[in-house]
Homo-oligomer: A and B are copies of this chain.
Amino acid sequence: MATITELSTELRMATFRLSRRLRAEKADQALSDAQLAVLGVLYRRGARTLTELAEAERVSAPSMNRTVNCLEESGHVVRTADEVDRRKSNITLTDAGRDVVQQTLSKRDAWLTTRLRELSKEDRAVLARAAELMGGLATR
């Protein structure tokens, strides 16, 4: 890779290409991408407030509120009033929500996991570090 500009173009194209390919592999049609993303955050990081979820997904609070409402109505999450700060409500996964995450994550990652297995250990280490860096780029 000769220049930073060239790296930029290559990384942009590779990111869009992989993103598009991964989106095409969407397995569970019952839940939307936005809903599954929220369940994923709660699954990996535990209970979160509405504001925290909105920031994590970089959407507005009213937008996240609507998504959480849907998830609450479908029984995948519950709101619990915060004991200390009563303005807050902690949003947690129900057993059903946890099951959905566990059952769907493997489906969503099946395509990618299969391809990652074909790579060397060293290449996977590169991608692991790259995932961290890409996450950092996006939040800067």
Instruction: Give CA–CA (A130, B125) in the complex, Å.
Output: 10
> Is A14 touching B124 in the complex (CB atoms < 8 A)?
no
> Is A4 touching B126 in the complex (CB atoms < 8 A)?
no
A30 adjacent to chain B (CB < 8 Å) = no
Instruction: Give CA–CA (A140, B120) in the complex, Å.
Output: 15
A138 adjacent to chain B (CB < 8 Å) = yes
Min Cβ gap A82→B in Å is: 27
Please judge, given known A-B contacts A12-B108, A12-B109, whether A124 and B17 are in contact too, CB under 8 Å. Answer: no
> Is B14 touching A22 in the complex (CB atoms < 8 A)?
no
In the A-B complex, the 5 residue pairs with the smallest Cβ-Cβ separation, listed nearest first, are A130-B130, A1-B128, A19-B19, A14-B131, A8-B109
